Amino acid sequence: MSGPSRGSEIRVAVVDDHPMFRLGMVALLETLDDIAVVGQASSAAEAEATVGADVDVVLMDLELGDGNGIDVTRTLVRAHPDLRVLVVTMHEDDDSVFAAIRAGARGYLLKGATPAEVERALRAVANGEMILGPAVAARAMGYVAGTRTTGGGAFPELTDREREVLDLVARGHDNTAISRRLSLSPKTVRNVVANVLTKLNLPDRSAAIVRAREAGLGLDPD
């Protein structure tokens, strides 16, 4: 699909677990020409039940009470390949941005975006473009320039921390051992491993070990 499926009208669903923000966004969208709000959801489960083939664009928050917007984005895009997802969130860290894009999001805005920026991003995403808000774009350029990575080594898309954890995974350490070794909480280690799998498009830990060792990680003795 190269754009909205029903003439010039863009059919939009808003997914956000904060009622005031969700209702405010809906109110904004309803003032815009040729944009129709056809669904709202306050949770991951509601989003998956609400968003169907009749939706052109989903405005997606990343923090949902019963899940996260990255997983929901991945599920919805797999179910509806023509769907466009525009993330609208408070999170501006590199990991969130790139995890969302890898999950299938076509745009990424911060919640501080102006109404004009929201409209421009929504229309651009509906037309098949990839768009990042100004603040996110600046961070993305820094990422590409290598400010968050060592550059030139294996897996330049990973942060230094993610590569460090992947190296330990490839050496056969479990999450508990990694958390002790790096003085991180087990939850943080789990999240880092999940980010690595997402960024490298790998199905599980075993695949990560194989891929890492093929790239030369995990081979040096502890």
Task: Provide mean pLDDT across the span 118-145.
Answer: 77
Domains of the chain: 10-142 (3.40.50.2300), 160-214 (1.10.10.10)
Q: Are strands 84-89 and 57-60 parallel, antiparallel or unpaired?
A: parallel
Cα-based distances in Å from 100 to 41, 63, 112: 18, 12, 18
pLDDT band at residue 138 under the 50/70/90 scheme: low
Q: What is the pLDDT of residue 149?
A: 40
Q: Of 11-15, 89-93, 113-117, which gets the smallest average pLDDT?
A: 89-93
The H or E element containing residue 164 is helix 160-170
Distance of CA 165 to the CA centre of its chain: 20
Model confidence at 2: pLDDT above 50:
no
pLDDT band at residue 65 under the 50/70/90 scheme: confident
Q: Of 32-36, 63-67, 173-177, 190-194, which gets the smallest average pLDDT?
A: 63-67
Model confidence at 151: pLDDT above 60:
no
> Considering the chain, what is the average pLDDT of its residues?
85
Report CA dihedral (185, 186, 187, 193) to the nearest 10 degrees. Answer: 120
Q: Based on the number of CB atoms within 10 Å of its own CB, is 109 exposed (0-12), middle (13-18) or buried (19 or more)?
A: buried
Q: What is the pLDDT of residue 3?
A: 53
Model confidence at 203: pLDDT above 60:
yes
Report CA dihedral (45, 46, 47, 49) to the nearest 10 degrees. Answer: 90
State which amino acid sits at residue 12: V
Task: Provide mean pLDDT across the span 7-22.
Answer: 91
> Could you give the percent of the chain with pLDDT greater than 70?
86
pLDDT band at residue 59 under the 50/70/90 scheme: very high
* CA–CA distance, 59 with 141 (Å, rounded to integer): 23
Q: What is the pLDDT of residue 140?
A: 59
Q: What is the pLDDT of residue 6?
A: 46
DSSP symbols for 69-89: HHHHHHHHHHH-TT-EEEEEE
Tell me the residue ranges of DSSP E strands in the chain. Answer: 10-15, 35-41, 57-60, 63-64, 67-68, 84-89, 107-110, 131-132
Q: Of 41-55, 107-121, 131-145, 150-164, which gets the smallest average pLDDT?
A: 131-145
pLDDT, one tens digit per residue, over 154-177 is: 788 888 888 889 999 999 999 999
Look up tokens 């599980």; give the residue.
Answer: 204
Q: What is the pLDDT of residue 5?
A: 46
Contacts 24+ apart (CB under 8 A), 113-118: 113/88, 115/28, 118/25, 118/28, 118/88
Q: What is the pLDDT of residue 95?
A: 73
> Could you give the percent of the chain with pLDDT greater than 90?
52
